[in-house]
Chains A and B, each alone.
Chain A
Amino acid sequence: MKSLALFIILFILWLLMSGHYTFLITSLGIASCLLCVFLAKRANLIDDEGLPVSFFPRIISYLLWLFKEIIISNYSTAKTIINGKIDPEIFTIKSSQKSEVGKVTYANSITLTPGTVATQIKDDIFEVHALNSDFGDDVRNGEMDKKVLWLEGKK
């Protein structure tokens, strides 16, 4: 089942990248996608981490929310750079995700919004460096944690 999903994703990517649609070249593309799926299956790469299917239904709305956050914190970071007044702080937070993919998504979302960077991760404790205490409060109030938990989507 997951092999089929991987094959469809790979083939859509191939169709978009190539741009030639004659019979010979398309069949060669199908053959190369099948080879890739076979190699991935042989190397045991097709599991819940390699292809997190439970993320797919809600990922569009999560990405839109993340873009809104990124634009807002870009504006605040630009103001901080122009002001020149920084007061960096390092603090630890606790993440409530169960799976590894959820933790990686949470840490990447923290790092992707400018102003906060995840510096170290051990089990479910994250250490975060924030440029200012306002940016730190945005992470500490736990809104992003709840959003990623909702994205993860399993009990």
Chain B
Amino acid sequence: MDLIKDIITGICFFIGSLSIIIGACGLIKFPDVFSRVHAAGMIDTGGTAFFLLGMIIQTGWSLITVKLLLVGVFIFFTSPVSSHVIVNLARQKKIIPFGRKIGKLL
């Protein structure tokens, strides 16, 4: 039973590590702030979700599980708000997006 738990946790941690490293590479690689937000969103959702899932499976059922779920809820509620505020301000300060199809300001 312990071995199965460890194996599932290891798989979750592996996917989470891959997700945050790919996200950080994308954060370096992409050309402008609008594309970089997508890479940061990958760190915020994929990395956090899989790391927390692995830790929840590892601890079993206790008070720590609920606190881990609370960390997940807070990050999942606050991360899109801060991404939206960053992108909205960048749009209002007239930073030109990379690419062909550029819309107008609302």
Contacts and interface: CB of A to CB of B under 8 A. Distances in A.
A120 B19 contact: no
Given A70-B45, A70-B46, A81-B26, A117 B67 contact: no
Contacts of A116: 38
Nearest to B45: A70
Interface residues of B, number: 41
A108 B99 contact: no
Interface in B36-93: 37-39, 41-42, 45-46, 49, 63, 66-67, 70, 76-77, 79-81, 83-84, 87-88, 91
B41 A120 contact: no
B102 interface: yes
Interface residues of A, number: 36
User: Chain A contact residues: over half helix, strand or loop, or mixed?
Assistant: mixed
A117 B38 contact: yes
Given A71-B46, A86-B35, A122-B106, A117 B87 contact: yes
B14 interface: no
Interface of A: 16-17, 19, 67, 70-71, 74, 77-78, 81-82, 84, 86-92, 107-108, 111-120, 122, 125, 127, 129, 131
Interface of B: 18-19, 22-23, 25-26, 29-30, 34-35, 37-39, 41-42, 45-46, 49, 63, 66-67, 70, 76-77, 79-81, 83-84, 87-88, 91, 97-103, 105-106
